[in-house]
Amino acid sequence: MNPKTANLDPNQKEAYDRVMGTATPQPIVSTPAQTPTVTSKPQTQVVTAKKRGGISPILIVVAVVLFFVIYTIIWAMVFKLKLPFLP
């Protein structure tokens, strides 16, 4: 056994032994079965609908398509490509 573990508190020593695999099995103490005496009330769960705020998905698609059209036109002008709809 490691001499440094001699001054550990019991919880730390138990964790060290469990991790290092040096723990000896402890006898299992069985407790008598207890009858449940707790009565539970039915609980209600409140579900709130989240509002989807912000921009419409259709507007996002239009913006993406417009971006790619403008992006293509700019690069066509940079590389001086002849496109029928460009001057």
pLDDT tens digits, 25-55: 566 667 776 766 767 777 888 877 777 678 8
Locate tokens 């971006």: which residue? 67
- Region 50-64: what's the mean pLDDT? 88
pTM, to two decimals = 0.38
- Domain boundaries defined on the chain: 56-87
pLDDT value for 51: 73
Neighbours of 16 (CB within 10 A): 16
Query: Cβ neighbours of residue 16 under 8 Å, at least 6 residues apart?
Result: 5, 8
pLDDT at 60 over 60: yes
Average pLDDT of the residues of the chain: 80
pLDDT at 11 over 60: yes
